[in-house]
Structure 1
Amino acid sequence: MPKISSLSSARRLPFVLALGLATAVTAPMTPGLISAAHAQSNAGDAAFVQSLAQRMIAVVNGPGSAAEKKAQIQPLLDQDVDVDAIARFCLGRFWRTATPEQQAQYTALFHQVLTNSIDDKLGEYRGVGITVGQATQQDGKTYVATVISRPNQPTANVQWVISHATGQPRIVDVVAEGVSLSLTQRSDYASFLAHNGNDVGRLIAALKRQVSRE
């Protein structure tokens, strides 16, 4: 069986998510030639990204043990990141072939992998900054451009993809240096499944092993 690249790259989305949410500094918005309604929506979504970042920094730099900080982070993820939608997207066509029990198991494991990966990185983000820039509309979603900086590291261009499908703004993807992390994860899962008989149960078993090691 080939190396499970899907499970190592599964850390990419949480890594950038935690990196981007460490702290925020707002830059002037430049909406350009867009409608007033879109400009208002874009500004609101940019403010949403900034607000989430500020709440995360309060956890990162605040007092408390790792377990206490994990307990504080979980509500932020549940409220502001559409983890269920990301999980379904990453599984792709295999979501439709999975049984309801497999769907529930996979989604729960995806949540746990995401949370654990962010929790494991929290201590590394002191001093990280994010400048929120222009927000644009594409395919019914808002793309909020940011520039992430870290001490002694090159800056990174990251877009936060915001959906209002649930009736409120929620993060559904992160595009780092032009690469969609959800698309990358979806491709990795598809590759793993292709080498494992397209058996969702084997992916679930691999995710369980990953979680047990974290």
Structure 2
Amino acid sequence: MRPFILTALISYLLLLAPAQAEEGAGATVERLNATLIGVMQEAEALGYQGRYDRLAPDLEAVFDFPLMARAALGRHWRTASAEEQAAFTEAFTAFSIAVFADRFDGYSGERFEVTGEQPARRGTVLVRNQLVKTDGEIIAIDYLARLDQAGGGWRLIDTFLDAKYSEIAARRSEYSSIVQNQGLDALITALKDKTAGYGDQQQ
């Protein structure tokens, strides 16, 4: 290869790499949407467990479940032991995936649309997203995204239903009450039971 061609190729690759690294938060939601549509289209054939198994690796790639678990547990995270934190994060992650596997259980021609991004608090980005049904009904499902400090691109850290209800805030309120009245072990057990319950309902 001639020197000037090699130099041009290296320059092109150097320009391309930052562009890929700076992919917007909306692209993360687009990947999630594509995964969900694929699972919805095969929902009946997959069954609940098949949907769970198909969704798990993709959801763990786009959501920052460890950070979400910490936020959902709120002030109780600081007083939990390392073992309790790990057990809660595992139970929280499994439950979160189970919710998706249960919710997206069929397909009737729906489509997702990412409609924009806007800056949010502490360097996060709110990705405006919606589910459009065949009858024209629109359901807003927005996501809060944060750049992974380890260089993994944009990760989703919260979901807003109807453009206003934070799932993390709702869970934090629910979980705080359980921990205060019954303890963290009881919350972990409750999450495991709920996760198992989704599968039992489909049998």
TM exceeds 0.5?
Answer: yes
Larger radius of gyration: 2
- Alignment of 1:212 with 2:196, yes or no, is yes
- Alignment of 1:121 with 2:84, yes or no, is no
Over 3 Å counting, the alpha-carbon distance change for 1:207 and 1:153 in structure 2 is farther
Question: Match for residue 168 of structure 2?
Answer: 182
Question: Match for residue 171 of structure 1?
Answer: 156
- The correspondence for 1:200, drawn from 184, 190, 193, is 184
What are the residue-to-residue correspondences of 1:8-157 with 2, within 5 Å? 44-62=24-42, 64-66=45-47, 67-139=49-121, 140-152=123-135, 154-157=137-140
Distance 2:190 2:32 in 1: 31
Q: Is the 8 A contact 2:36 2:104 kept in 1?
A: no
Amino acid at match of 1:206: A
- Cα distance, 1:69 vs structure 2: 3.6
Amino acid at match of 1:94: H
Question: Match for residue 158 of structure 1?
Answer: 141
- Cα distance, 1:103 vs structure 2: 1.1
Distance 1:186 1:78 in 2: 20
- Cα distance, 1:153 vs structure 2: 7.7
- Residue identity over aligned pairs, in percent, reads 24
- Cα distance, 1:135 vs structure 2: 0.5
Over 3 Å counting, the alpha-carbon distance change for 1:102 and 1:126 in structure 2 is farther
Deviation beyond 6 Å, 4+ runs, structure 1: none
Deviations 1:99-154 (A, max 9, x none): 11111111111111112222223323442222211211112111111232234584
The SS at the match of 1:124 is: coil
Q: More helix by proportion, 1 or 2? A: 2
Q: With the length of structure 1 as denominator, give the TM-score of the two structures.
A: 0.71
Amino acid at match of 1:174: T
Aligned residues: 172
- The answer to which structure, 1 or 2, has the higher relative contact order (CA under 8 A, 6+ apart) is 1
- Cα distance, 1:182 vs structure 2: 0.8
The SS at the match of 2:104 is: helix
The SS at the match of 1:127 is: coil
- Cα distance, 1:164 vs structure 2: 0.5
Distance 1:149 1:205 in 2: 36
Amino acid at match of 2:193: R
Q: Is the 8 A contact 2:37 2:111 kept in 1?
A: no
Amino acid at match of 1:213: G
Over 3 Å counting, the alpha-carbon distance change for 1:116 and 1:94 in structure 2 is same
Distance 1:162 1:119 in 2: 21
- Cα distance, 1:192 vs structure 2: 2.3
The SS at the match of 1:50 is: helix
